[in-house]
Structure 1
Amino acid sequence: MYTHSNQISIGGVPAANAKAALIMLHGRGASAADIMRLAREFNATEMTVYAPQATNNSWYPYSFLAPVEENEPALSSALALIDEVVAQALADGFTADKIYFAGFSQGACLTLEYITRNAKQYGGAVAFTGGLIGEELNLNNYKGDFAGTPVLITTGDPDPHVPLSRVEESAEQLKGMNANVSVKVYKGRQHTISYDEIALANQMVFI
């Protein structure tokens, strides 16, 4: 098992000149540099982009549907690293409602898990193929009020890693905490991010 070192790539507009912050979480086997390239496709030209790097290019060792204890201590370490990134964004002058999140696959799961454990009014969040983490959801972990934060969750059906039932369960949890959730399901889509999903993210979150 492993923990994550504090490696954070920063790009986009310098914080002093930016209107918002974007925290991007890469998928299993990918890197911070990979996910930062995706920021170029968003309406994020006036944002500072923060992308932490997972140790061994993986945020946690097993499926997000495994019992949480099997993914420890890596999962808690990953959540703590995101907390450090958020703290850095706040220190750089961004208020929570100017902080956005985006992640793919394992990074999408981590995005949803982090914001739902720390719900408040964020700028918005995009989870490209992901759901809340755990064999069963521990509702005691989820606290706060999203105050209308826009959240987009997209997925394929079927997806080899993320069952639609968990996507729907996750969406309902966030809605119950006052997030403005949109879910888009693509029949037969491979485990990837399509141009349509990027366009949706720009229409619904990065407005």
Structure 2
Amino acid sequence: MAASNVIIWLHGLGDTGPANAALRSFFTKPQLKSAKWHFPTAPRSPVTCNRGAVLTSWFDLPEIPITAASPSCQEDVLNAVRGVHTMIDDKVASGIDASRIFLCGFSQGGALTLASSMLYPETLAGAVVFSGWVPLDSNFIEKISPKAKKTPVFVAHGDADEVVHFAAGQAIPPILAQAGVKHEFKAFRGLGHSISPEELAHLERWLISNL
């Protein structure tokens, strides 16, 4: 894998980028050795579902657990999307083609990954959604550009997730299918709201297949 490939990882609610940096050690295949990983940290802001407590959060969350019918804070999500687009644009400005940038995320970061990759005007190398959901109204698919529709998406979700319900993850593939986006959905039996070594092994294979 060329050194110009980039993997941006978006953490979950209340977490930080540096706390997730050890994830890169799971990816040992030669094709990924020279990948440039980036672990940004979300800004701190009051979060409604945590009774207004200030946490690192990409956007506000009205409720937890999150179901397929949970309300969303549209403008807040779109503002976060613009922030992620700036991250990607900065990499592109440094000479890295968008088609060599993978966007990945867990939980809230996974939901933001989905929205950001589909609303980006160019084709990315791929988007990875772990334990995420659709954080915008389904009509957002009308805003997906022809180039963004060429970004492959991998969605992974544990069927025992009590924080972001499995059904919320299952709601992603029909929307991607409707938009004509190439995608893969994989359920992990007995997995709660966490990332397992099995998931990371599958992700490693998926990343390599989309280099």
Cα drift, residue 103 of structure 1: 0.7
Kept after mapping to 1: 8 A contact 2:138/2:175: no
> 1:152-193, CA deviations, whole angstroms, 9 ceiling, x for partnerless residues?
111111322323333233222223334321111123212110
Sort the Cα spacing of 1:76 and 1:147 in 2 relative to 1 into closer, same or farther, 3 A. Answer: closer
Kept after mapping to 1: 8 A contact 2:118/2:149: no
Kept after mapping to 1: 8 A contact 2:134/2:168: yes
Structure 2 residue aligned with 1:55 = 43
Sort the Cα spacing of 1:97 and 1:131 in 2 relative to 1 into closer, same or farther, 3 A. Answer: same
Cα drift, residue 102 of structure 1: 1.0
Cα drift, residue 53 of structure 1: 1.4
Sort the Cα spacing of 1:20 and 1:51 in 2 relative to 1 into closer, same or farther, 3 A. Answer: same
Sort the Cα spacing of 1:92 and 1:24 in 2 relative to 1 into closer, same or farther, 3 A. Answer: same
2:164 aligned residue (162, 165, 184): 162
Identity level (%): 25
> 1:79-117, CA deviations, whole angstroms, 9 ceiling, x for partnerless residues?
121011001110111111101011111101100011112
- Provide the C-alpha distance between the structure 2 equivalents of 1:33 and 1:50, rounded to a whole number of angstroms: 9
Structure 2 residue aligned with 1:21 = 6
Sort the Cα spacing of 1:119 and 1:67 in 2 relative to 1 into closer, same or farther, 3 A. Answer: same
RMSD, aligned CA: 2.4
Structure 1 residue aligned with 2:49 = none
What does residue range 20-99 of structure 1 map to in structure 2 within 5 Å? 20-42=5-27, 44-56=32-44, 57-62=56-61, 63=63, 65-69=70-74, 72-73=75-76, 75-99=77-101
Instruction: Give the TM-score of the pair, scaled to structure 1.
Output: 0.79
- Kindly provide the amino acid, as one letter, of the partner of residue 47 in structure 1: A
Cα drift, residue 38 of structure 1: 1.4
- Kindly provide the amino acid, as one letter, of the partner of residue 132 in structure 1: V
Instruction: Give the TM-score of the pair, scaled to structure 2.
Output: 0.78
Structure 1 residue aligned with 2:53 = none
- Provide the C-alpha distance between the structure 1 equivalents of 2:160 and 2:25, rounded to a whole number of angstroms: 28
What does residue range 100-119 of structure 1 map to in structure 2 within 5 Å? 100-118=102-120
